[in-house]
Amino acid sequence: MTVPREMPEKWRRVHGPGGAEEERRVRANAREYNEKFQYASNCIKTSKYNIVTFLPVNLFEQFQEVANTYFLFLLILQLIPQISSLSWFTTIVPLVLVLTITAVKDATDDYFRHKSDNQVNNRQSQVLIGGVLRQEQWMNVRVGDIIKLENNQFVAADLLLLSSSEPHGLCYIETAELDGETNMKVRQAIPVTSELGDTSKLARFDGEVICEPPNNKLDKFGGMLYWKENKYPLSNQNMLLRGCVLRNTEWCFGLVIFAGPDTKLMQNSGRTKFKRTSIDRLMNTLVLWIFGFLVCMGVILAIGNAIWEHEVGVCFQIYLPWDEGVHSAFFSGFLSFWSYIIILNTVVPISLYVSVEVIRLGHSYFINWDKKMYCAKRRTPAEARTTTLNEELGQVEYIFSDKTGTLTQNIMVFSKCSVNRHSYGDMQDVLGHKAELRERPEPVDFSFNPLADPRFQFWDPSLLEAVNLGDPHVHEFFRLLSLCHTVMSEEKSEGELYYKAQSPDEGALVTAARNFGFVFRSRTPKTITVHELGRAITYQLLAILDFNNIRKRMSVIVRSPEGKIRLYCKGADTILLERLHPINQDLTNVTTDHLNEYAGEGLRTLVLAYKDLEESYYEDWSERLHRAGSAPEAREDRLARLYDEVEHDMMLLGATAIEDKLQQGVPETIAILTLANIKIWVLTGDKQETAVNIGYSCKMLTDDMTEVFVVTGHTVLEVREELRKAREKMMDASRSMGNGFSYQEKLSSSKFTSVLEAIAGEYALVINGHSLAHALEADMEVEFLETACACKAVICCRVTPLQKAQVVELVKKYKKAVTLAIGDGANDVSMIKTAHIGVGISGQEGIQAVLASDYSFSQFKFLQRLLLVHGRWSYLRMCKFLCYFFYKNFAFTMVHFWFGFFCGFSAQTVYDQYFITLYNIVYTSLPVLAMGVFDQDVPEQRSMEYPKLYEPGQLNLLFNKREFFICIAQGIYTSILMFFIPYGVFADATRDDGAQLADYQSFAVTVATSLVIVVSVQIGLDTGFWTAINHFFIWGSLTAYFAILFAMHSDGLFQMFPNQFRFVGNAQNTLAQPTVWLTIALTTVVCIMPVVAFRFLKLDLKPELSDTVRYTQLVRKKQKTQHRCMRRVGRVGSRRSGYAFSHQEGFGELIMSGKNMRLSSLALSSFATRPSASWIETLRKKKGSDGSTAGSPSGAADKTLKDGRPLSPVAPPGHCSVSIHLHGVQIPHHTRMYYARATTAGGRGGSGGAVTAPCPLPHPSTTCLLFI
């Protein structure tokens, strides 16, 4: 075999400069030839360590933490006897403990990655070696091998399809792991290899493929096959990519082109990244600052020591000589500097990091144990797969979500229809009103039909009655649904039908017709057989006018057994209604009303029509169609014109409404998260229409939005222009509303900001994958991000896994906001790894997303609880823990600094070394741990009811540099009082027997006791949620302090260790003095009272929202709740077509060619529904225009009613306990009532931005306006 030289120039060299691969050459059945190119093997690796690299790499990562390096440095200092005044074990034991705990956790995480890798690498595959098929592990597959795949097997590597069991080399694959789509896709071998069906022929195959190098483009492939002196072009339609599953095809053979890390799936997967929280990064900075502060204190005390030794110490050399080696005051000061660095190092004790890890571990267990995040149906609990990111769950600003399997169940259900002015699908009660779901009777009984699908349910028996009564319009309606489609049918046994639909929409429609007696039974390239009410009728299939995104419709032309030729058409309502005969005007008006009603409920609508064709016209049109189909140029344009010609003046049959079912609770979850100021972007591989429809279903998009921008440009200039127009429209609308903005793009170095984000109105942005590729380029990414961030909702369609990660990275880069990515498939792995927090849905698309995630659960709705309860509490607890920890350690350590001025700067400690060692390990560790693990400001129900409680985390209000300095100031203030009050008292105090009270040990006991009591009282003030554990730890720590104190000054320890415990009875004698207890009491009161006074005034004058919520909770307990019913509020929405959004153009032509008529195993495709839910957007958007606005929690306290009476900043949910029905969603009576404001009795209500209801608050002449 020879390879012609006229290959593309860009593939001329195998490797370019720097070793980058520029082309790939693969020869079939020639391992030796292929190995010289050193292509990657098929072994994948997602783990970070191995046995050899674990210890050095893990220690390197851990010592990237500034604190760990800091403690290692202190340990080295403590090993130098000339400067160490504390034992080395006080540092090395906790340091080793921290490093060991972290290493074990990291090793455990990486073990599961290794386990997953081994599971994938050890899968079995049939490889053709030496003319014989052998079982080989995936890791042993090499580039150039020929592999045999069987039905339902995963594709092991990126393969060139050579042949299959289906005619013409066709095979069917599912690409859910790649792009999230669960509908089948067709791939076809090139004709020259499609006949290589047996192993002997394949063993002799020696073709060579020259193609593009490895890349991440899932939808593109370019190459040439050279074989037998000929060359054959290759495209993506000839490729089977790793991660796909072979479906409905008995077997196929493929040639390995890309293996392992070179496959497109792995090229899109991204790298495992070491994730740190913002608090971790801040702590690193604070540790550096504290170290700088520590050095400053050491320098001050060292200078003091040098001066003291020079001026005073030199006079006492006889009985206070300098240490050996010290010959000058300067050198004494130098040694004193290092001694003080060791003594004062407890400003950041290593126990801080041990405590942080323990608290995070506790928070992780709370997530794992949460029964409200447990899915009983799948028996799947929530799982915290990492312990390092819990508090960042309380700071999320952007959520990036996959669609299929994450927001939706990917199931379609035939819900309603309109036929001849009648709407079917709703049940009425005795009063003629629509019945609620819980009030509906049993579903329609289809037992009369032996071919009915038992899983199909419909609730309106009147439609079946119309069929049984022979209504010709209803019969023609279902006849159209049974004929106008591209579904394939397989009958495994008599009456057991399996439909294989290219899109779930079509499967739902054909199944509906099947159950109502019009059963699509089988098809050939030229016929369709339908059982109409038990009678088999075969129609001649004359033409399929295929679907595409421009036409938004499809038609079939059939000839009935009577010889009548009829065109049946179904498509988007906006397209078909324009093509109807004028005689349909009255029927069109009624049907349009029904369509508006269906769209208002979030259903996917579709219009059906037909047209009778004359024989002569059809013959002429068919001839012209044949010529257009054979035209060498402009074939698509000619066919489109002919299709358009025949699809005019049609007769309207009716409309269908399909429910694309979201996962349970998705609209409510998105609504609540939106209220928490979390922005949600949907990144999906689905088509634009599908994604937009889901956006409307889950209420990310609403009809109340000012405008939805759609970016579909194919070039850089087109995309730039569309983004520019979108920004101009937003600015023009804002100016017209009187906001007076002047447009300027601003980009600060720290955080991306734009005047667009303050515009009035609500906008949404929808962008396609090919447009997004241009928008993400370096010179346009800022424009794209500015436009997107000004919009309330962003939906990116047809995006690759790598593009998902790039969008996340873009927001991380410029917005400096915490991001969360959530998905359920392998195509979401890259996005999950890139975001600050990755969440995996354990769904129907495998477990790759779960394995790559930081948190996992089974339903999207649990995200609300993960963030608003666990995330908010974790952030709150961690912030309170850190504030208190820095406070107590500065209060403890700074006493040494003040004492230095009274001890000749000799590095003498105030406390004995046992107190210094036990202070952070025993006396104060457990109370702060209990607060860090169990504390809460409001109960979990209130966290869900008041989403605005989440905002302090996003704004980083609870622990930042300002809060840190406040804690430090309080600690220094406490240390000053802690030292100088006892010092002043002891200066002139005497014992009961008249002896002098002042001595070093008595002073140390008094200061230490005061310190333990003060910090214990302080943590009691800081604790917001008391449990038995809190009580036990706080009072137990105080008890332990006194027990250990008396034990260390006892006779028993002195007799056992006379050199260590010399001060027998000192504690007993000191604490027996009333003066000491009065000193301790005075110190405690002076330290604590300013804190109590400040917090009281703050609570009274400027309460936070959590304070107000706690207050209203107390009020609720004293008042009876009043339940009032509110009328249901409807919504009329714009119509949105739901036709076959997953459809691919060209499938109709494939059916007519007959190439896919022999299918081995056709399974019924899944259906999906979408609950109608809408309430948040309109409620949150429209504020009253009478000057009374719902403000911030702090500002709301100052609002008054029009008659001058004050208004509560938060409407207590117990005061207005109502059950609200808005746009099809029932809001529980006890939830989501956030701000209250007053209007006159004629205030707005209905479908506007608020709901009016009588309120028992003390303003009966007004109406309580509740905002969600």
* DSSP 8-state secondary structure symbol assigned to residue 660: E
Question: What one-character-per-residue DSSP string does 153-219 give?
Answer: PBP-SEEEEEEESSGGGEEEEE-HHHHS--SEEEEE--TTTTT--SHHHHHT---EEEEPPP---TT
Question: CB–CB of 928/102 below 8 Å?
Answer: no
Sort residue 802 into left (φ over 0), alpha (ψ -120 to 50) or beta: alpha
Alpha-carbon distance of 1235 to 1250, in angstroms, equals 11
CA-derived radius of gyration, the chain: 37
Alpha-carbon distance of 1020 to 258, in angstroms, equals 63
Looking up tokens 């339902």 gives: 152
What backbone torsions phi and psi does residue 546 show, to the nearest 5 degrees?
-70, 160
Q: Could you tell me the sign of the dihedral formed by the alpha carbons of 186, 187, 193, 197, in that order?
A: negative
Beta bridge partners of 172: 186, 247
- The verdict on whether 732 is a catalytic residue reads no
Q: 109, 110, 179, 402: which is the annotated catalytic residue?
A: 402
Alpha-carbon distance of 280 to 388, in angstroms, equals 9
Alpha-carbon distance of 426 to 237, in angstroms, equals 44
Residues 6 or more apart from 897 whose CB is under 8 A from it?
A: 297, 301, 344, 975
The DSSP H or E segment spanning 720 is helix 716-736
Three-state DSSP at 1064 gives coil
Amino acid at the residue 1013: I
Amino acid at the residue 987: A
Alpha-carbon distance of 1211 to 383, in angstroms, equals 35
Alpha-carbon distance of 801 to 822, in angstroms, equals 13
Q: Could you tell me the sign of the dihedral formed by the alpha carbons of 269, 270, 273, 278, in that order?
A: negative
Question: CB–CB of 266/44 below 8 Å?
Answer: yes
In terms of residues, how long is the chain? 1268
Q: Could you tell me the sign of the dihedral formed by the alpha carbons of 591, 595, 598, 603, in that order?
A: positive
Beta bridge partners of 412: 660, 1168
Question: CB–CB of 99/353 below 8 Å?
Answer: no
Alpha carbons within 13 angstroms on the beta-carbon side of residue 237 total 10
Q: Could you tell me the sign of the dihedral formed by the alpha carbons of 804, 805, 808, 813, in that order?
A: negative
What backbone torsions phi and psi does residue 26 show, to the nearest 5 degrees?
-130, 125
Looking up tokens 């439909």 gives: 499
Question: What one-character-per-residue DSSP string does 1019-1054 give?
Answer: HHHH-SS--HHHHHHHHHHHHHHHHHHHHHTSHHHH
- Contacts from 559-563 at CB under 8 Å and sequence distance 24+? 561/537
Three-state DSSP at 395 gives coil
Q: What is the dihedral of CA 817, 818, 822, 826, to 10 degrees?
A: 90
Alpha-carbon distance of 1211 to 1251, in angstroms, equals 13
Alpha carbons within 13 angstroms on the beta-carbon side of residue 1225 total 26
Question: CB–CB of 508/415 below 8 Å?
Answer: no
Beta strands 1225-1227 and 535-545 are: unpaired
Looking up tokens 């050890």 gives: 122
Q: Could you tell me the sign of the dihedral formed by the alpha carbons of 44, 47, 49, 52, in that order?
A: negative
Q: Which residues are tagged catalytic?
A: 402
